[in-house]
Amino acid sequence: MKLSGLLLLTIAILFGACSPNNVKDAKEWEKYFTKHKLEGTFMMFDNGQGSFRVYNIDRAKQRFTPASTFKIFNALTALHTGAASDTNMVIKWDSIYRPDTIWNRDMSMAEAFRVSSVPYFQEIARRIGKDTMQRWLDSVGYGNKKISRIDTFWLDNSLQISPDEQLGFVKQLYFNQLPYQKRAQQLVCGMMIREKTPKYILAWKGGWGRTGNKHIGWMVGWVEENLHPTFFVLNFETEDPNPDIQGLQMELTRGILTEEGFFKGEK
């Protein structure tokens, strides 16, 4: 049985591995959520300092549909098992027109990952197969590990994962600690990098799902300065029928990271 990050952290505190002072309730981040009437959480783990900060720790332990953040796991499993040869592997468009017109073309895994193409990664999941996918969900201990249909289970609320579990997953990915080939982990890390400057690297994958009338937003990743990674997870929900999820993802994540002094190359 795998333990969640928060439980592991609690055990570490109890056994003196780190001080309770290193675990802080970041109440000051609440303003980013109340501005848009969002229920949400933001978690940050400074790997160098071993410090953990979280706004709304109760929500951080709750599980939600991973939506497109599951593309991280999907890509890793495909690359490791050979369902995908590399991130340049092209899957041809199935000629089905979709409202997200950017998906209506042939594309590589790297392109599909960046534009969050659902059809591409549905085909990847079908090529992996249900039995193999289930073995890897069990091996990694990804969320509740539940599969319904092989090409929809991360979208239809069958599979669920907590922000806390997402944080542990992306941290293990960064350090090549997941039970996949090192090459697969390095390739997926490369796809997650969205900004690379002399001062910082920002890597992330967003997600947008539905649970009833609620829209669920995610952003998981890390910011690196001076070879020093800090891992973060944003999760929120809104009942706004027409939310700008991508705008909210970036506004909240960049706002909090900027407030904490990132993007200057001084961390």
Q: How far is CA 72 from the centre of its chain?
A: 7
For 162-181, what is each residue's pLDDT tens digit? 999 999 999 999 999 999 99
For 49-106, what is each residue's pLDDT tens digit? 888 999 999 999 999 999 999 999 999 999 999 999 999 999 999 999 999 999 999 9
Number of H helices, E strands in the chain: 10, 9
Strand pairing report for 214-225 and 107-108: unpaired
Q: Which amino acid would we find at residue 194?
A: R
DSSP per-residue string spanning 161-209? B-HHHHHHHHHHHHTT-SSS-HHHHHHHHHHHEEEE-SS-EEEEEEEEE
- Catalytic residue at 117? no
- Residue 9: pLDDT band (50, 70, 90) is low
Count CA atoms within 13 Å of residue 91 on its CB side. Answer: 25
Q: Model pTM?
A: 0.92
Question: What integer pLDDT is reported at residue 23 of this predicted model?
Answer: 75
Strand pairing report for 39-46 and 51-55: antiparallel
> Per the residue annotation, which of 68, 116, 117, 162 is the catalytic one?
68
DSSP per-residue string spanning 126-151? HHH-HHHHHHHHHHHT-TT---SSTT
Indicate the SS3 state at residue 66: coil
Alpha helices by DSSP H, 69-162 = 70-81, 109-115, 118-128, 130-140
Q: How far apart are CA 52 and CA 79, in angstroms?
A: 31
Q: What is the mean pLDDT of the chain?
A: 92
Q: How far apart are CA 152 and CA 253, in angstroms?
A: 27
Q: How far apart are CA 73 and CA 124, in angstroms?
A: 11
Tokens 């690359």 belong to which residue? Answer: 79
Please count the other Cβ atoms lying within 10 Å of the Cβ belonging to residue 241: 7
Tokens of 250: 């970036």
To which H or E segment does residue 5 belong? Answer: helix 5-14
To which H or E segment does residue 256 belong? Answer: helix 245-259
Does residue 119 surpass a pLDDT of 80? yes
Question: What integer pLDDT is reported at residue 249 of this predicted model?
Answer: 98
Q: Which residues pair with 108 in a beta bridge?
A: 90
- Where in the chain are the domains? 24-259
Per the rule left: phi > 0, alpha: psi between -120 and 50, beta: everything else, 15 is alpha
Q: How many residues does the chain have?
A: 267
**Per the CATH hierarchy, to which homologous superfamily does domain 24-259 belong?**
DD-peptidase/beta-lactamase superfamily (3.40.710.10)
